[in-house]
A and B are shown apart, each in its own frame.
Chain A
Amino acid sequence: MKGPNPRKFLLVLTPTPLSALSGIALLVLILLAVFAPWVSPYPYDVQNLSIANQAPSALHWFGTDDFGRDVLSRVIFGARTSLSVSLISISLSLFGGVIIGAFCGYLGGWVDRLGMSIVDLTWFFPEILLALLIVAILGPGSESTIIAIAIAYLAQFTRLTRTQIITLKRQTFVEASLSMGAGPLHIMMRRLLPNAIAPVIVVAMLSTGNAILLEATLGFFGMGAQPPIPSWGGMMSTGSSQLFNAPWVIVWPGIFVALSVIFINLFGDGILRALDVKARMRTQ
């Protein structure tokens, strides 16, 4: 079987100018994060108390914090933490959710009821509360943040996958495969998952934005990446004590959190719309 047609893939990626621009902005952000050691003007952890809390200037575009560290460099390195933590946690969550959801949806019956009631335990709590709870149990740090975020979003992916699988299971083409003599593995891997996965992935993209927010919140509470590793949430937390005499310390990471969330949403939105167009083309 062939993969998706490359031309169609491009079509999906550039549905509207706005989402294309957001996609480019996101790409720049990711590149900045990846190449942080080369693009950032200063190391993120070198302290110089003599220049503490300086306003933005030609030397330090975003200013310096109360240890005299360059805020721009820390924002760029912070992007590494924020993006990697949220991407890894959403990937984990997606992976787990798809597997549990697919099993529950496909098998139905008591497997479904058991699986869903376990997953639904996490559905009752607001994501932030759940994440705080888990980090409180596991102790602060990047790894616990990743696990906490992954669990917080698990129910969402499980439910979505499960509904997708249940709807697809009733489609005639699945019955057609069965009638040819297909086994459960073929049905799941060839018919159900490939058709179910697209909307789940789009939701995962959109959730990455929320995960960045969640990561920042945990960092703000001092539960995320531990100093001196910079994270946007952590920077905002330390910046909050200097809110009035050095507002730039808190504002810049805040802007980056907001921008990345907006870009991710715009981009995801565009993709959703493109998928929708494709779906309409099919049902015509």
Chain B
Amino acid sequence: MTAIEVQGLEREFKGGVKAVQGIDLAVGEGEIYAFLGPNGAGKTTTVRMLTTLLRPTGGRALVAGHDVAKEAAAVRRQIGVALQEAALDPLMSGHELMRLQATLHGLPRAEGRRRADALVERVGLGYAKDRRVGTYSGGMRRRLDLGMALVHEPRVLFLDEPTTGLDPSSRAAIWDEVRRLNDEGTTVFLTTQYLEEADQLADRVGIIDDGRMAIEGTPAALKAQVGQPHLDVCLTDGANDHAEGVLARFGEVRPGIEGVHFQVTLAGGAGDIAPVVRALDEAGLAVAQLNLVNPTLDDVFLAETGRHLEGDQDTGEVAALSLESG
């Protein structure tokens, strides 16, 4: 069964801004789907339509089998939502907010209290649950907001940029929680500006740019479309004239700096790294540096839109292996 089904979804704001211009997508039950795109791409607008906060001006969307425009209440009962700006009352404590959320979602008092207790622990805020939220850090707020979105055990969870602006360890904590929820069967639709986040978490990624879906697929398939993994080989200076011949056994070779630097497309993927090192060693060639270069989602974005994803600090290349040898 599909958890989310979207056809030709559009939103035009007053003043003629077309934030979302005909999006189609389908997310299966139990999937993690990442909506990846730069600032202003239309991610939040899409999430707000899918969560019944904003009316589509065109197309239609079913969430958990219900039409977001016509059966909003039924949709709301099935979804959990953590929006980009976690709306938390700074005067209330984490535990009070969690209980308020439980009541808003129809849990009886005793059960609400039990869920609230369990969830503050689950998102790692047990130690701060009685403190006013105004004193929480950004990461703590996000975790609380995520916990609040779970209070009624939703089938489909929407997370709008759940880790934007967070430090790496807070980000990792959110990722762990998202994976755990997904393992328990929750479908997750998340938006992000971070390539790594989409790559790490998502079963499938849709790249959105200027209100349109640029391309969609599994992270591996998208990256495979733009190129193969290759090995950057740097040799120490010396008599390296037979190096190209040795490397050619593993795949197509493109020489960089004459006799020192080569790029080899690894037909056998990362598994070829060790054999390459051995072959070079046996041929008496000393390796100065070795980098496995994988295509990234940024390369995919670049190929589709002609631009880099802004706001992303990744260098673009994942150095999976870098070794010095003498």
- Do these two chains really belong together in a complex? no
